[in-house]
């Protein structure tokens, strides 16, 4: 229990914690609502938002500091004399000062993250290459040797590729036991992201891994108006038992198409989980009842890339290999691919930065002592 002229730590802690919960609730609700109902809204640098985790740490340090301050005041003087020695401590002004500084800090971080709104249409001339991604959607891509599983990392890699495409055009071929075109070559990155949400093993009924058929299907996707430079990127664990992927890569190379490969999985491999309704039911077994271990086959993927004049990259959960692929694409001859219209995003960080500055300045100007009315007698009209 606090004594007069010491900080009311209980009431202050309650106020600060309630404000913290409300702030996080409002912030999360804003982001979820914006992502669902405002497709034109985006955060340019989402990784910066991790700095918001420092907020609760500041709250914990502040509350711990209040206890230390009270202990120091009591050590400084007897309770009866604290009012004369250290007059006018205001618990609510101290809490207000902290809340202004703490949440001003959050608004500053959000401003640094780069909030943007797509509020204008722009027509730009594009130069680039045509790329078809052949994505493995067989059951082996559900193995969890890279987290959360190979399929999710593959979708993340494809999303990163879409974001870095620039003026390039993109098509998608999916394959397992058979291959077919999921998305024809297009410059519409928004359409590509919509297709991303549908990717998974349920797209192809026949199981297997026909990388060669996927490369042939991707090769046929390039029409007569294709760019001068053409590339295929195979994303797979490389286990191909049903056809000749190296031969398919050689046929593509003969037509001037570069074949690159991204390998997903580990060489030790992992079992293939079976889930029903989101629940784990066990692991896939072969005809002898042995658990199937799906392993990365880097040798096959290397041979495919070599035959196709491309590059092989082994992906991990934190490194999808997309950066290497983009560098490879940028090194190819860029062709004029006409013009296209897109929604340009304008920066909106200014509003959040203004709020941050106002709160930080107000916090710095807020004192921790009680307001006094004695200054009124010194005003000019009372002189």
Q: Please tell me whether the overall predicted TM-score, pTM, comes out greater than 0.85 for this model.
A: no
pLDDT score, position 188: 80
- Give strand ranges (E) for 58-186: 115-128, 130-136, 169-175, 179-186
| 166 contacts 186 by C-beta, under 8 angstroms | no
C-alpha 94/C-alpha 99 separation (Å) is: 9
pLDDT score, position 167: 75
Please state which architecture CATH assigns to domain 122-341.
Answer: 3-Layer(aba) Sandwich (3.40)
Question: Beta 293-294 vs 335-347: how paired, if at all?
Answer: unpaired
Beta carbons within 10 angstroms of residue 195's beta carbon: 16
pLDDT score, position 122: 61
pLDDT score, position 337: 59
pLDDT score, position 78: 57
Angle between helices 91-112 and 9-37 (to 10 degrees): 20
Please tell me whether residue 284 adopts helix, strand or coil conformation. coil
For residue 169, how many C-alpha atoms fall within 13 Å in the half-sphere facing its CB? 26
Q: What is the mean pLDDT for each group of 10 consecutive residues in the chain (383 residues)?
A: 59 88 91 79 86 91 82 62 58 86 92 80 70 93 91 90 84 92 86 80 80 95 86 90 87 95 93 83 87 92 96 87 87 68 72 93 82 47 40
Domain borders along the chain are: 9-114+348-382, 122-341
| 308 contacts 250 by C-beta, under 8 angstroms | yes
pLDDT score, position 381: 37
| 282 contacts 305 by C-beta, under 8 angstroms | no
pLDDT score, position 377: 46
pLDDT score, position 64: 87
C-alpha 361/C-alpha 171 separation (Å) is: 51
| 322 contacts 260 by C-beta, under 8 angstroms | no
């Amino acid at each position: 229990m606090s004594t007069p002229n010491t900080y009311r730590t209980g009431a202050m802690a309650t106020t600060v914690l309630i404000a913290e919960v409300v702030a996080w609730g409002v912030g999360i609700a804003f982001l979820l609502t914006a992502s669902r109902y405002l497709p034109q809204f985006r955060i340019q640098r989402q990784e910066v938002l991790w700095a918001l985790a420092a907020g609760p740490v500041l709250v914990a340090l502040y509350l711990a500091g209040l206890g230390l301050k009270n202990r120091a005041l009591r050590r400084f003087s007897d309770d009866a004399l604290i009012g004369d020695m250290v007059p006018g401590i205001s618990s609510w002004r101290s809490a207000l000062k902290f809340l202004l500084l703490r949440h001003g800090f959050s608004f500053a971080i959000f401003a640094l993250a780069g909030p943007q709104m797509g509020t204008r249409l722009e027509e730009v001339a594009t130069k680039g290459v045509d790329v078809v991604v052949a994505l493995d959607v067989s059951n082996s891509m559900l193995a969890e040797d890279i987290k959360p599983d190979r399929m999710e990392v593959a979708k993340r890699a494809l999303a990163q590729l879409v974001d870095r495409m620039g003026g390039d055009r993109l098509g998608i071929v999916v394959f397992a036991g058979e291959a077919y075109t999921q998305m024809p070559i297009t410059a519409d990155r928004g359409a590509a992201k919509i297709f991303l949400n549908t990717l998974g093993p349920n797209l192809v009924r026949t199981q297997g891994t026909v990388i060669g058929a996927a490369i042939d299907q991707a090769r046929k996707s390039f029409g007569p108006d294709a760019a001068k430079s053409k590339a295929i990127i195979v994303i797979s664990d490389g286990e191909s038992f049903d056809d000749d992927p190296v031969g398919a890569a050689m046929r593509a190379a003969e037509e001037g198409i570069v074949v690159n490969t991204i390998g997903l999985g580990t060489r030790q491999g992992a079992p293939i989980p079976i889930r029903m309704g989101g629940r784990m039911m066990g692991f896939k077994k072969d005809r002898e009842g042995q658990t199937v271990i799906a392993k990365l086959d880097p040798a096959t993927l290397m041979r495919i890339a070599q035959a196709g004049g491309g590059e092989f990259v082994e992906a991990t959960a934190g490194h999808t290999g997309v950066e290497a692929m983009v560098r490879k694409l940028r090194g190819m001859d860029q062709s004029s691919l006409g013009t296209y219209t897109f929604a340009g995003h304008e920066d909106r960080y200014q509003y959040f930065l203004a709020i941050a500055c106002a709160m930080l300045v107000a916090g710095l100007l807020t004192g921790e002592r009680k307001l006094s009315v004695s200054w009124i007698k010194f005003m000019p009209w009372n002189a």
